[in-house]
Amino acid sequence: MPPDPTPAEPGTASSTPPARESLFIRAARREPTERVPIWLMRQAGRYMAEYREVRRKVSFLQLCKDPALCTEVMVTAVERLGVDAAIIFADLLPILEPMGFDLEYTEGSGPVIHNPVLDGSHVDRVVELTSVEPLDFVIETVRLTRAALPATIPVLGFAGAPFTLASYAIEGGSSRNFLRTKSLMRNDSGAFNSLLSRLARAVVRYLNAQIEAGAQAVQLFDSWAGCLGPDDYRRFVLPHMRAIIEAITPGTVVINFATGNPALLPVLAEAGGDVIGIDWRVRLDDAWKTVGYDKAVQGNLDPTVLLTDPGEIRRRAKEILDQAGGRPGHIFNLGHGIFPQTPVENAIALIDAVGQMSAK
């Protein structure tokens, strides 16, 4: 890693040395830590009364485009939960808007793309993202979140991975079978590759802007990659993921996370990243052996465990810690995001249990 810049006052965007010596960053480097660090995907969300109060005043997209509110909900979550890292409050899909997509969030149906890519000819109308200025609300969220938190709490930026973004753009929203996506992928691989290339270049610019604004780590979310087998992933997705990870600002921790298919773990590790995110469909020890001990791992409690009682939460957390075996490089997290029905007290119970049981 390059040498740390001159320290600044705590809480400012440039105060990276303390954050880089945090439990989270040290674990990502596979260095020994006093305990296992923990943060939770969707740790600021509908399960929290404070978040629901904010949402009563604004729509989801309005919230995402209001850096002050985004900072408020994340800082509230960090302080209430006692986690070791803060991922910015944002969404995967606003990056598609300046690329020419008509995005709407609807109650009940979630995100909708009103002008999807229906065939290969539509790829040419996808706008190249040459500037992140249209996404400055996200960059400002990074700045404000970094400034509002102690310098010892790393700020994580994130972006959707190209395959997941392309799936939304092609399907027009969520999908169970990804028929349109896979049809374009196989029937017009040139157009599909062109689309993923444009998305990959956009993701690089977007993530590097977040890093410049103060993020010490970034996570790539490939939420829909699990619909692919390893051969298709290797052929159609791996080159784009590798290109992104190689172009991210050196010295930044990169978490590569996909969900839904443990068979993809070897190619995820091949794509790169300091940390490989593990979902709950595989044991952590098996997953770590698969990706290789030269990588850190993140995960991997089933989010539904947080709907049980504190005793069961503690038992299941201990199973994962035992599977990690005290090996340096484990960041505790869920296998995906917190469900809205989760009692906040249960999330806190998990964080407390991991801290107590993993303390050296």
What tokens does 144 get? Answer: 């404000």
Strand partners, 254: 218
Residue 52 a catalytic site member: no
Q: Which of 20, 26, 30, 42 is catalytic?
A: 42
Residue 235 a catalytic site member: no
DSSP state letter for 338: P
Residues 299 and 287 sit within 8 Å (Cβ to Cβ): yes
Burial (Cβ within 10 Å: 0-12, 13-18, ≥19) of residue 289: exposed
* Crossing angle for the helix pair 189-212 and 162-171, to the nearest 10 degrees: 120
Instruction: Please state, in angstroms and as integers, the Cα–Cα distance from residue 89 to each residue in 81, 167, 280, 345, following that order.
Output: 15, 22, 23, 21
| Residue 238 identity (one-letter amino acid) | L
Residues 98 and 129 sit within 8 Å (Cβ to Cβ): yes
Using the structure block, give the residue that is written with the tokens 């052996």. 289
Considering Cα of 18, then 22, then 28, then 32, what sign does the dihedral take? positive
Tell me how far apart the alpha carbons of residues 81 and 297 are, in angstroms, rounded to a whole number. Answer: 22
What tokens does 314 get? Answer: 């503690």
Residue 42 a catalytic site member: yes
Q: Which of 35, 46, 234, 327 is catalytic?
A: 46
> In 3D, which of 139, 57, 76, 134 has the Cα closest to residue 103?
134
Burial (Cβ within 10 Å: 0-12, 13-18, ≥19) of residue 176: exposed
Compute the 3-state secondary structure of the chain and give helix, strand, coil in percent, each to the nearest 5: 50, 10, 35
What tokens does 52 get? Answer: 């629901």
Q: Which of 91, 222, 274, 279 is catalytic?
A: 91
Q: Which of 55, 234, 281, 314 is catalytic?
A: 55
Using the structure block, give the residue that is written with the tokens 């051969």. 231
Tell me how far apart the alpha carbons of residues 158 and 147 are, in angstroms, rounded to a whole number. Answer: 18
Residue 186 a catalytic site member: no
Residues 309 and 270 sit within 8 Å (Cβ to Cβ): no
Residue 35 a catalytic site member: no
Q: Which of 47, 168, 206, 233 is catalytic?
A: 168
> In the chain, count of helices (H) and strands (E)?
15, 9
Question: What residues are annotated to the active site?
Answer: 42, 46, 55, 91, 168
